[in-house]
Amino acid sequence: MESDEQLYIRVRGGDRTALAGLVERYHGPLLKFLSRMTGQTQSAEDMVQDTFIRILTCRGVPPEHFRPWIYQIARNLARDYFRSAAFRRETFYLPDEDQGDDWMAAPVETESLALQSSDCVQVNALLQCLPARQREVILLRFYQEFSLEEISTITGAPLGTVKSRLFHGLRRARMILEQEEVGQDE
């Protein structure tokens, strides 16, 4: 099977079939990543399109490793979304107390988890409870199965910071889940 990098070089040459191949490979995974990241399917679809447009209009040297690169673009678009006026209009805005970050989704009240019906919605609610920096590391690790070194490249954060975000994110996620289970038992 042709590698992503080879397909991308053909896309840069104007090959429609290669573009269809890349879309086939990445449309679903990127949509899932961005939906989980933002909690908004419609915004995620827009960002997936923007991600592909960015790689199509990129005039620089083709990347050595395509997969981390396209996720880096998608992740940056998600970051821009959190910084955008549209996002601020829809939700309130808090600085990240852990890292001094300037972007994160407003934490969802943990009580609301129990109100969600399907598992998918429950997971989404839990993910939205986490600061965006921690959420992205968990998503890239667990669902996209990137190594921490690759996540460090994608997010532009040092490896130690990535580890710290993963650690704090998992601890927080576990705590929320346990609180939820206790709440349901009672």
Partner 1 sequence: MNNPVDRLTDGLDETQRQALGDLNALAHFLETDLGTEPETAGRDHLLTVLEQYLPGSPAIKRRQWTNWLRLAHSQSVLFEKSFWLAGLLVLLLGLSLSVIDGRDLLPLVFIVVAPLLAAVGVAYVFRPETRTLGELERLTATGAAELLYTRLALVLAFNLLISLLLLLLIWLEGPQVVLWRLTLIWLGPMLALTGLAFYATIRWNSLVGAILPLGLWGCLILLGWSEAVARATEGMTPAFWLLLIISRSDPLLIGASLACLVGLGLLGLAGRTAPGGEKSWS
Partner 2 sequence: MELRIRELSKSYGTQVALRNVNLDFQPGTIALLGPNGSGKTTLLRCLASLTRPDHGQLWFDGIPYRRNLKLLRSQCGYLPQELDFPHNLTPRQLLEYLGTLKNISESGQVDYLLSALGLKSVADRPFGRLSGGQIRLTGIAQAFLGKPSLLLLDELTRGLDVEERERVFALARKSSSGRLIVFSTHDPPDVERFTEQAIVLQQGRVIFSGKTEDLHHHIPGYHF
The site for partner 1 (CB under 8 A) is made up of 11-16, 19-20, 23-24, 27-28, 31-32, 35-36, 41, 44-46, 48-49, 52-53, 56-57, 119-120, 122-124, 126, 138, 141-143, 145, 147-149, 163, 166-167, 170-171, 173-174, 177-178, 181
- DSSP letters, 26-72, are HHHHHHHHHHHHHS-HHHHHHHHHHHHHHHHH--SPPPSSHHHHHHH
Q: How far is the CB of 183 from partner 1 (least distance, A)?
A: 14
Angle at 136 between CA 139 and CA 128, to 5 degrees: 90
Instruction: Name the residue nearer to partner 1 (CB basis): 58 or 106.
Output: 58
46 binds partner 2, rule: CB under 8 A: yes
In the bound state with partner 2, the residue whose beta carbon lies nearer, of 48 and 126, is 48
CB of 45 to partner 2, least distance (A): 8
**For partner 2, which is the closer residue by CB, 5 or 45?**
45
Residues 6 or more apart whose Cβ sits within 8 Å of residue 168: 98, 134
159 contacts 151 by C-beta, under 8 angstroms: no
| Binding partner selected for residue 97 from partner 1, partner 2, none, CB under the kind-specific 5 to 8 Å limit | none
Residues ≥6 apart with Cβ < 8 Å to 18 = 7, 8, 10, 11
